[in-house]
Amino acid sequence: EKDEATKDEL
């Protein structure tokens, strides 16, 4: 299960 990206994005 991949964990979610884009929370480290602006």
Partner 1 sequence: MNIFRLAGDMTHLVSVLVLLLKIHTIKSCAGISLKTQELYALVFTTRYLDLFTDYISLYNTVMKLIFLGSSFSIVWYIRRHKIVRRSYDKDQDTFRHYFIVLPCLVLALLIHHKFTFKEVMWTFSLYLEAVAILPQLVLLQRTRNIDNLTGQYVFLLGAYRALYILNWIYRHYTEPHYVHWITWIAGIVQTLLYADFFYYYFQSWKNNVKLQLPA
Of 1-10, binders to partner 1 (CB under 8 A) are 2-10
Question: Minimal distance in Å, beta carbon 1 to partner 1?
Answer: 9
CA distance 4 to 10: 15
CA distance 3 to 6: 10
Question: Minimal distance in Å, beta carbon 3 to partner 1?
Answer: 6
How many residues bind to partner 1 according to rule CB under 8 A? 9
Residues that bind partner 1 (CB under 8 A): 2-10
